[in-house]
Amino acid sequence: MNKKYAICYNPTIENASTIMKKLEKILLEREVKYSIYSIDNPKDDCDFVFVIGGDGTILKAARYYSNYDVPIFGVNLGHLGFLSQAGEQNLNEAVSKILSNDYRVENRLMLKVNKYNALNDFVIKGQYQSRASEFVLEIDGKSVCNYFADGIIVCTPTGSTAYGMAAGGPVLTPDINALAIIPICPHTFAARPIVIGGDSVIKIKTPHNSLYTVSADGQEVFTLNDDIIVSKYEKYAKLALLGENDFYSILKSKLHWGISPERFH
């Protein structure tokens, strides 16, 4: 059976339409069946998706297409692009490999809270963004601690190189079944990030029925005044990866991991 491909792009990002047209031309030359969708109006009638945009676009596509077990391939537009696998300069080569099935699909753990899912993280903050709030943490029904902080990040291995890392959390390799819980600017030196099993159920209680704001991947925001339950989502994001790209090389190339500042340029 011939695969049906889709191009999903973010028309609000500069140069996205240009890259989309270049990708469309490559697929036409190879007589490949494809559809084109805006990231705000995706469809599930495909077997593989090229996603054109930044990491935010890829995160949004991953949340949608994970429900249909469809692999996605990120095409970077010249920014950090930690989740992307190709850019304009090597697009033709990347497409050739994908059409030849010369790639692997990596299942990435996702999280859920109520009806929302996230590939990177859920961030929980108090009603008043300008001051710290109290967060009562339970893991698998066991009391862990009380955080007095600006917020809490619960992140996946994929999200550990995003907000979680910026807040002082650990970097987790994407192949492990683990989650990280990271307090944001805690008001005590005893509060530290913690890494737990990926199948754990996290409960963050809201004392005094306070209203808490929750964001999924920094994109979907909602409020709760009840206990917040964070657990593994039943689906996985499926990221299509080319053979030469591995997690450690991406750390070095994208985040300058282990490189002294004077060598950045």
Same domain, 81 and 17: yes
Which pLDDT score is estimated for 238? 97
- Give the percent of the chain with pLDDT over 90: 72
Same domain, 221 and 165: yes
Which pLDDT score is estimated for 79? 63
Q: For residue 67, give its domain range.
A: 5-109+236-263
Same domain, 99 and 179: no
- CA dist., res. 136 & res. 144, Å (int): 8
Catalytic: which of 44, 45, 55, 199? 55
Q: Write the CATH number for 38.
A: 3.40.50.10330
pLDDT digits (tens, 9 = 90+) for 122-146: 999 987 767 788 899 999 999 999 9
Full strand arrangement of the beta sheet holding 121-126: 194-197, 178-184, 151-155, 121-126, 212-216, 220-224
Same domain, 9 and 103: yes
Q: Write the CATH number for 152.
A: 2.60.200.30
Q: Are 53 and 87 in contact, with CB atoms under 8 Å apart?
A: no
Same domain, 45 and 144: no
What does pTM read for this prediction? 0.91
Same domain, 75 and 144: no
Q: Where residue 157 falls among pLDDT bands split at 50, 70, 90?
A: very high
Is residue 246 among the annotated active site residues? no
pLDDT digits (tens, 9 = 90+) for 31-88: 999 999 999 999 999 999 999 998 999 999 999 999 999 999 999 876 656 788 888 8
Same domain, 118 and 220: yes
Which pLDDT score is estimated for 211? 87
Same domain, 252 and 148: no
